[in-house]
Amino acid sequence: MPVLRFDPAEGTEALTPLRLEVRAFLRQELQEGSFEPQCDSWLAGFSPEFSRKLGQRGWIGMVLPERYGGHGRSGLERFAVTEELLAAGAPVAAHWVADRQMAPMLVRYGTEAQCARFIPAIARGESYWAIGMSEPNAGSDLASVKTRLDKAEDGFRLHGQKIWSSGAHQCHYMVVFCRSAPLGSDRHAGLSNVVVDLSAPGVTIRPIRLLTGEHHFNEVTFDDVKVPEDMVIGQPGDGWRQVTAELAFERSGPERILSTYPLLVEMARWAQKDSADDGVVTAVGTLAAQVWSLRRMSQAIAGMLDQGVDPEVEASVVKDLGTRFERAVAETARIVMASEPSPNAQSRYGRLLAQAILHAPGFTIRGGTNEILRGIVARGLGLR
């Protein structure tokens, strides 16, 4: 039976100075009031100013090649920095997607020219990218996308619609996953990824509001949008392999565990008071044990990725456990620290609790629904 391996990452002690650097920076920022800790900060905390500061410090594009403005550092180093930022609930949403997957995709499959053109600004925290994968009729079944890339005289034309694109209304570019050849017997063939300038003619962005009324998601329509040849990533037809290659990385990161960590901090703060009962203390311990074990697993995966291992099954496990834990923080907090939640609560605890509860449905849906991921685990165990 295949064993799920989470070999402890090596050399993590050496990351401590880097972590301390990030913490010192965050302390400074908090003192200056440049941000308030929030849940889901990698999705909801869009701050070009903050992203630029991180870029200046070399904390974006960390694993990207230096010749493109990256910093040639390891995945474990990036892991340490992103963990610190998310644990603090810092507003990293603007550059998050570009840094996590778009730039690495370009490095892996793009041309020199594409890398030289796009990556420097991404690494500076000045260029923001959105994901163009899901469509109204293509969610879990990503291969069934209908957005078409047609050959034209001067390159290509893009027709179709993408949905759930987080931050697209504030982004510069989108990587659009589309069908470039007719559907044949192999449904994973004939798919491509193209870079689309979101300010191009024919691109329409319409907000999709969350149940909270917040605007993060968008529906992006492409009406005969011109896509130059040099905006295709890799070869046409290579799209499926390109999107699946990075999945272990995207699914196992600290953003699958720490979205509600700022709420746990407020629980601990409450528990420091004399009036706090054992219930709160025990709840903090119970939840902290999850953080402790989950982050070790996430770090182990970061280490494995650095070694060239691609732990698809392990990443699915971390995402499943981590996102359920994220919801559990809110569901536990509200019992031991009872209040009637409100987004406009006076206390930070009250605001974070409300954020966490209202955002919770998304945790286990985004990035691959947990049910799909369990199917991957089942396959990994030989059951299907």
* Catalytically annotated residue among 83, 250, 314, 326: 250
326 is a contact residue toward another protein (CB under 8 A): no
77 is a contact residue toward another protein (CB under 8 A): no
CB 165 within 8 A of CB 204: no
Of 255, 54, 232, which Cα lies nearest the Cα of 166? 255
Distance CA 222, CA 132 (A): 11
Q: Can you tell me which of 16, 28, 111, 140 binds another protein, judged by CB under 8 A?
A: 16
66 is catalytic: no
The residue (of 19 and 52) whose beta carbon lies closer to another protein is 19
Site for another protein in 220-259 (CB under 8 A): none
Tell me how far, at minimum, the Cβ of 39 lies from another protein, in Å: 15
Tokens of 189: 């063939």
155 is a contact residue toward another protein (CB under 8 A): no
CB 325 within 8 A of CB 239: no
Of 176, 84, 195, 178, which Cα lies nearest the Cα of 131? 176
Distance CA 139, CA 145 (A): 9
The stretch among 124-132, 158-166, 174-182, 277-285 that binds another protein (CB under 8 A) is 277-285
> What residues does 157 pair with on adjacent strands?
150, 226
1 is a contact residue toward another protein (CB under 8 A): yes
278 is a contact residue toward another protein (CB under 8 A): yes
Q: H or E element: which one contains 320?
A: helix 312-336
Of 135, 368, 133, 141, which Cα lies nearest the Cα of 247? 368
Q: Can you tell me which of 85, 102, 163, 294 binds another protein, judged by CB under 8 A?
A: 294
Q: H or E element: which one contains 162?
A: strand 155-163
Distance CA 248, CA 168 (A): 24
357 is a contact residue toward another protein (CB under 8 A): no
384 is a contact residue toward another protein (CB under 8 A): yes
Tell me how far, at minimum, the Cβ of 295 lies from another protein, in Å: 7
265 is a contact residue toward another protein (CB under 8 A): yes
Binding site for another protein (CB under 8 A): 1, 4, 6-8, 12-13, 16, 19, 23, 83-84, 87-88, 261, 264-266, 268-269, 271-272, 278, 280-286, 288-297, 300, 314, 317, 320-321, 371, 373-375, 377-378, 381-384
